[in-house]
Amino acid sequence: MGEPIPNEPILYGTLPKHEGHWTRLLLLRQGELHDPIECALEPYDLDTLKYCDEIKKLLPYEALSYVWGDRADLREISCNGVPMKVTRNLFDALVAIRVPTASRSLWVDAICINQDDLEERSHQVGLMASIYRQAARVLIWLGHGDAQHVEAAFTYLCQRANKVYLDLGWTRELFRVRLASYTTRGGKIDSSKLQLDDVRPTAAQYEAFAAFLHQPWFFRLWVVQEVSLASTATFFWHDSSINLAYIMVALDEWKEDSGNFPPPMGLDNIATIYFNRKAQHKGMPIPFARFMCEMREFSCSDPRDRVYGLLGLRSIGSDPENSLLFVKPDYSLPVHELYEQVAKKMIVEQKQTYLLSAVYHDRKIVDDLPSWIPDWSKPVPAVETVRIGGGLYVSTGPVTDGYGVDVSLVKNKGREYLRIAGYEIASISNVTPVLRASDIMDRFSKDDSVLLKKELKRICDTLDDDAILNAMTRHREYPQKLLASYPEPLFGYDDLYSFLTEPSTTVDAHDFEGYQSLLEQFRSTLASLCDGRRLFTFDAVEWYSEESHHLEHRVGSAPAIVHKGDIVCMLFGGFDFYLLRVEVDGYVRLLGTCDIHGYKYEEDVAFHRMTGRPTHYFDIF
């Protein structure tokens, strides 16, 4: 949902709120390509299926999934005989899905909900699960695009899907699996022309595929539940359309068949949609906290929709189809109150303490919220996004789902704190200046033929693969794959620390096989992982350092807010190392998470529990 576009109130009557689950359906009148858009709104009860006679002939309805687009770029349609303004992207969608021979019944959020009525918006958001589950199909409008990109992308996706289908052999015939195809304005493409043995992409195919995933729709938060709840869905891009199922099959093996191309922007997002669609259809119980963490890179215009845009998804403790929502949507509620409400429910009631890994403070802590409550309204660097699993990048440890968690809310001197058990690990002794990607790239480029190769030689002589893959890549899968494919390791935390802060030492230059082809990819990957962060050294607490066997590299990476004297700790139920700060007034604040070279969080937790090390209770404000 976005900010409302002013329209005549005469369009909307009051929907019943205390009986049935009433919404409105949009009757899109038939028309040719360049005809004006004419439509009508009619009430519809999702429970009793009450509707007017005209709707009866047009059921079942379909739901539209799209991006609102620029709210300053408006077009006019006629609705119930009244002029109505909609965004250009919605206008284009209606033109694209309109047929010349018959009216069509649709559910379109921007039109079917009175966006000026906060109470109605709140009530209708609570019906999203039923609206999208009952729709015969979800129509996904991506917008207009380059015709060559559209053809190349859809052709390539069908070829990938058909490779999977054909490999099924007789099983495909048994289950009557149809080969993938797509439709253009000229008709359906023959699937026999969409088959290849080698589906590794060419440069042109990769460019088209990347353009497909770069469409704004793939970055909109609301689409996750819209597609996850759909019985079936179809993508419409420019003048072509393709079934969602073919795309999901095509992308399932991307990592194995991608050649040397990195994952394009948007691939993570559609993987998230794919995982949640499977989970919803299988009835898998998933914590709402997981939704919040995994969807952080998606966008929405109203910060409340960080929560409300996910309420249609079934989670632990909720059943949206039966009106049991995780929280009750209320667009009149201040944003910080909503975030506090959901954080307390997830962390304290449901013991989903890994949500603390979503806390991120850049340069300073803002007092709008307690430091332990994630502020979902603020943009977070992509490398700070919490990854839990399910086909996505895996973080440093498992989700515990409340096992062994000791967390509660306590009050003292009129203040409320989060009390949580854990272990104190270390005190930070030194930090570097804030690292910037541009500075790192500049350092790389200086005397490239000699300086960098000397650094590479020195580093490669001193580090092992584990230090590379688990530390420098911060557990991100693509840079791990990138580095693992080369015989010589490149960087570790301690060596990067000296590389960025000290002059180069004089050693013999060394030419690595594949050096140039790797270097550009590695430069940009490393720069993005370090951008906006500091490296730090630390002194482990005495009882910890005595028995730890992997403290030879006391180096870590943390957000820019970290400074000397901050505390590194473990918090039970989490899966990261956390940074705490004791303020001058004695209050403890949560700064965020950090990465430490050579440490595996879950192993350390198990080790210290087994050896009976003292548990510390942190009161975090």
Q: DSSP for 555-591?
A: EEEEETT--TT-EEEEETT-SSEEEEEE-TTS-EEEE
Instruction: Indicate if the pLDDT at residue 63 is higher than 80.
Output: yes
What separation in angstroms does the CA of 516 have from each of 134, 409, 449, 462, 523? 54, 55, 10, 22, 11
Residue 218 CA to its chain's centroid (Å): 10
Mean pLDDT lowest among 49-63, 163-177, 220-234, 570-584: 163-177
d(CA 381, CA 339): 20
Q: How confident is the model at residue 9 (pLDDT cuts 50, 70, 90)?
A: low
> pLDDT at residue 218 above 80?
yes
pLDDT at 595: 80
Contacts (Cβ under 8 Å, ≥6 apart) of 450: 509
Write down the pLDDT at residue 252: 79
Pick the residue with more confidence: 575 or 234?
234
CB-based contact 10:29 (threshold 8 Å): no
Query: 23-62: b or e for each residue (b if 16 or more CB lie within 10 Å)?
Result: bbbbbbeebeeeeebbbbbbbbebeeeebeeebeebeebb
343 three-state secondary structure: helix
pLDDT, tens only, 367-388: 789 999 999 998 776 556 555 5
State both tokens at 54.
């005209």
Q: What is the pLDDT of residues 12-37, one digit of tens each?
A: 888 887 777 899 999 999 999 899 99
Q: Which residue has the higher pLDDT, 16 or 604?
A: 16
CB 77 within 8 A of CB 38: yes
Mean pLDDT over each residue of the chain, to the nearest integer = 79
The yes-or-no verdict on residue 574 having pLDDT over 80 is yes
Q: What is the pTM of this model?
A: 0.82
Backbone angles phi and psi of 546, in degrees to 5 = -60, -40
42-51, 58-67, 363-372, 582-591: which has the highest mean pLDDT? Answer: 58-67
What DSSP character marks residue 5? Answer: P
By DSSP bridging, strand 533-540 and strand 104-107 are: unpaired
For residue 274, give the nearest of 239, 348, 223 by alpha carbon. 223
Q: If you ran DSSP here, which 8-state letter would residue 439 be given?
A: H
pLDDT tens, residue by residue, 414-473:
889 999 998 888 889 888 778 776 665 565 555 443 444 444 444 334 334 444 344 444
Q: Environment class of residue 242 by beta-carbon count within 10 Å: exposed (0-12), middle (13-18) or buried (19+)?
A: buried
SS3 79: strand
C-alpha distances (whole Å) from 193 to each of 154, 155, 367, 452 are: 12, 9, 60, 49
Structure-token match 């979902």, residue found: 376
Name 104's Cβ contacts closer than 8 Å, sequence gap at least 6. Answer: 27, 28, 30, 58, 62, 97, 98
Percent of the chain with pLDDT over 70: 70
Q: With bands split at pLDDT 50, 70 and 90, how would you rate the model's confidence at 609?
A: low
How far apart CA 437 and CA 443 sit, in angstroms, is: 10
**CB neighbours (10 Å) of residue 451?**
16
DSSP codes of every residue in 216-260 = GGGGBTHHHHHHHS-SSEEEEETTEEEEHHHHHHHHHTTTTS-TT
As given in the structure block, the two tokens for residue 248 are: 């999901």
Distance between CA atoms of residues 64 and 238, nearest Å: 16
State mean pLDDT over 392-403: 34
- Nearest CA to 242 out of 92, 135, 146, 141 is that of 141
Region 281-310: what's the mean pLDDT? 92
Please tell me the predicted confidence (pLDDT) of residue 23: 94
